[in-house]
Amino acid sequence: METNTAVTATEERVPLSSKLWLCSADCLCTTLNSLLTGGGMTYFFTKFLGMQEGLASTVWIIFAIWNAVNDPLFGYISDRTKSKLGRRIPYIRYGSFFYALFFVLTWVRWPIGTSQTALFIQMLSTLFLFDTLYTAIATSLYVMPYTMAVSNKARGNIFLLKIFFTLIALGVPLVLFPLIKPEPGDDPTRFQLIMAAIGLGSFLVIFFSTFFYKEVVQNESEEELGILKSVAACFKNRSFIVFEVLSFTVIFIQTILMQGVIYYFDEFDLPMQFAYGALGLGAVFGVVLWATKVKTWGVKTCTLLMCIIFAVGASVMAVFGKYHAVALAGFFTAGMGFAGGMFLIPLMNGDVIDYDESVTGIRREGMYAGVNSLITKPAISFANAAFLMIAKAFGYDTTLAAGLQSDWAKQGVLVAWMAVPALLLVICAISMKFYPLAGAQWAQTKRELELRHHSAENG
């Protein structure tokens, strides 16, 4: 009891201004990425610019290879970065301008021609440039809660606030893009100006946010492992492998939801406000449920239940999503699932990193974030490619105007949208059986780590 009291009494408080600026920067960084990789880029190049679906799918597959190198390399470098600003802030502050610039240039046809080859080059180049900056900024923002705070209570408060900002980051593309997207043959000027304004505003918020938060937890010792051995060491952590199954699935579903919803509202007459209302209600209910029950049920049990509920909702939606009542229930369970993904999965990640430190004595947030991205970034590519291929297999015709697809093609939209997520969620539920960070022994390890960090912070 004395150890618990000591730890609780010394838990730090992160200033509200720091949390708000961090969450705002993360929100806008995610918003730009969601607008681009969450179906917007694919739609713009295939339906508006006329790029062949096969070439677009090839771009995403090639891009996945770059992510296999890009993300763990940056995590390795950032863990070893030494500057007066810390290990992460320089990348956020100075990368923000170029990140926004490449976002804006995505929606402008480059002066290299109008052929399929020119479109292929533009899409691939833009995606590579944009994502390289996204990796540097998003990875740094992703690990900041683990470096701003040393206690689970302080981290949890950041994650709870971050959920609402993340809902904005996911909701804005879902609502905005279908409303402003240019149809084939339209003048894209209005759409391009809106995207440019979003890019500029995001740059300003991300840049200035770096003056309002700082890193508290730094590396306690120098890591001697090279990059390959450092990557391999992550996979020796069994809890990390289970976490990655969940993390991959969350990113895949987030991407394919935003991809599929564009096509869903084109082909089905469910009012958008009702659908997003159900999604929002599910998210709010999920936040309350998971934040309350994680204290008694634990991360492991809550995550298992979240996967089961979400899997059932996605399965029913894939078959019967054309019916309004089923669709509303599907959007509601999706909201619960997203809330769980945004709250429970980061807590799992923190535990995975803490476990690694308990074994090695080294903080390796950047390396774990990089390897996590190595696995989850391809989920973005696979989600985009899978949706296109499945929908095409059902006869979806990208040359037709909204609402003119055949009944079988409309069913294909539902299957392409929800069937793979349902399967992945079942796999996630099964994998949670092998997640080891639960129970009294892990709780004791966490208490010891918090006490160690408190002692180091106060000299």
What string of DSSP letters covers 231-299?
Answer: HHHHHT-HHHHHHHHHHHHHHHHHHHHHHHHHHHHHH----HHHHHHHHHHHHHHHHHHHHHHHHHHHH
Element (H, E) at 136: helix 116-148
7 belongs to a structural domain:
no
In this structure, of 159-163, 263-267, 405-409, the range with the lowest mean pLDDT score is: 159-163
Q: HSE, CB side, 13 Å, CA atoms: give it for residue 164.
A: 9
Q: Please report the sign of the dihedral spanned by the C-alpha atoms of residue 424, residue 426, residue 429, residue 435.
A: negative
389 belongs to a structural domain:
yes
pLDDT on residue 12: 59
Q: What is the pLDDT of residues 81-121, one digit of tens each?
A: 777 887 788 999 999 999 999 999 999 999 888 899 999 99
CB atoms within 10 A of CB 114: 10
Q: Find the domain containing 265 and state its range.
A: 15-453
- If you average pLDDT over residues 401-426, what whole number do you get? 90
pLDDT on residue 11: 53
pLDDT on residue 328: 93
Q: Are 255 and 384 in contact (CB under 8 A)?
A: yes
pLDDT on residue 312: 93
Spatial CA neighbour of 300 closest among 255, 352, 248? 352
Statement: residue 22 has pLDDT above 90: yes
Q: Are 195 and 35 in contact (CB under 8 A)?
A: yes
Q: Are 380 and 251 in contact (CB under 8 A)?
A: yes
Statement: residue 451 has pLDDT above 60: yes
- If you average pLDDT over residues 234-245, what whole number do you get? 90
CA-to-CA distance for 436 and 142, rounded, in angstroms?
23
Q: Are 260 and 39 in contact (CB under 8 A)?
A: yes
Model confidence at 4, in pLDDT bands (50, 70, 90)?
very low
Q: What is the pLDDT of residues 286-316, one digit of tens each?
A: 989 998 888 788 889 999 999 999 999 999 9
**Considering the entire predicted model, what is its pTM?**
0.69
Q: Are 368 and 352 in contact (CB under 8 A)?
A: yes
Element (H, E) at 36: helix 16-37
Rg of the chain's alpha carbons, rounded to an integer? 22
pLDDT on residue 92: 94
Spatial CA neighbour of 247 closest among 425, 43, 456, 19? 425
83 belongs to a structural domain:
yes
Statement: residue 56 has pLDDT above 70: yes
**Count of domains for the chain:** 1
CATH code (residue 333):
1.20.1250.20
pLDDT on residue 3: 38
Spatial CA neighbour of 135 closest among 81, 91, 100, 102? 91
Q: What is the pLDDT of residues 144-179, one digit of tens each?
A: 887 777 666 677 778 888 877 877 887 788 788 888
pLDDT on residue 225: 60
CA-to-CA distance for 397 and 47, rounded, in angstroms?
10
CA-to-CA distance for 29 and 100, rounded, in angstroms?
9
- If you average pLDDT over residues 66-84, what whole number do you get? 76
Q: What is the pLDDT of residues 363-406, one digit of tens each?
A: 777 788 778 877 887 787 788 888 888 988 999 887 888 788 89
Look up residue 434 and give its DSSP letter.
G
Q: Are 291 and 416 in contact (CB under 8 A)?
A: no
Average pLDDT, the chain: 85
Q: Are 422 and 252 in contact (CB under 8 A)?
A: no
